[in-house]
Amino acid sequence: MRFLKVHGAGNDFILVTGPDADTPQDWRTTAVRLCNRRTGIGGDGLVTSILSSASAGVLNVACYNADGSVATMCGNALRSAAWCAARSHGLQEMTLVMNGVKHDAVVRDDGVSVTAEVGPVDMRLLEAVWNGRPFWFDSAHTGTEHVVAIVDDVDAVDTKTFGKLVRHHQNLAPLGSNVNFVQIIGDQALKIRTYERGVEAETLSCGSGAVAAVVIATRRGLICAKTTTVHNQAGTPLVVSPHSERPPGRTYWISGPVTQVFEGELV
């Protein structure tokens, strides 16, 4: 089985395409084995991408988290799959289908953009206390569950411990949620740290989390409903923009770089 190791702004994946991706196997178990950073290839997730229609530019994409769970939506996995499709099939504009949801994708020399759909938003969903200080978390469904807390200094947050606590909060049962800590750092600029469900750790970047951060910051009146730069732990920002041809607040573009680290073959 051939694979690519790629990352979208620091969010790293093992990417399998073509006939290998279409070979029946227990991908959840495979993801756990291969994503292990000590005994496997290492990654936040395993992504399979299958070209279902070359003429229409449609690919079926699945993302399996490092713990074997299925990601219902992963913006950086979609961006990585689009980058690979451009390289392998010459596609620059395409449709990616993940868990039955269609996402538009555009690949350019300066980066890869995919769409994310926003569902229910629930302000002040839960309150959690850390070091004696209360934090309010709002929720925004961006294809997957996210909660967002606006903080004064994201670098001062114990993302791993506090994120894990909130991820399993009773108000989020039974699925739990991805947990984002967001700081306003300038005009249309945010800084984010994300504890990612399924990886069960802080990741360097999260595309759907970046969209959730923009949605909540906009709802709170902290930024305007226009293009926003979201800075992450990787130091490679993602850009989140409202889709100009869709209803306001419903669809966003996630844009940023995709980088191949290496490629190999499992024998």
Q: Which residues are known catalytic residues?
A: 74, 206
Which residues face 113 on adjacent strands?
106, 255
The CA–CA distances, whole Å, from 267 to 25, 59, 126, 148 equal 15, 26, 48, 42
131 vs 109: CA distance, rounded Å = 46
131 vs 44: CA distance, rounded Å = 29
Q: CB atoms < 10 A from the CB of 102, how many? A: 11
8 vs 260: CA distance, rounded Å = 9
164 vs 48: CA distance, rounded Å = 28
> What angle (nearest 5°) sits at the alpha carbon of residue 99, between those of residues 32 and 78?
70
Helices assigned H by DSSP within the chain: 18-21, 27-35, 75-89, 159-167, 207-219
94 vs 185: CA distance, rounded Å = 34
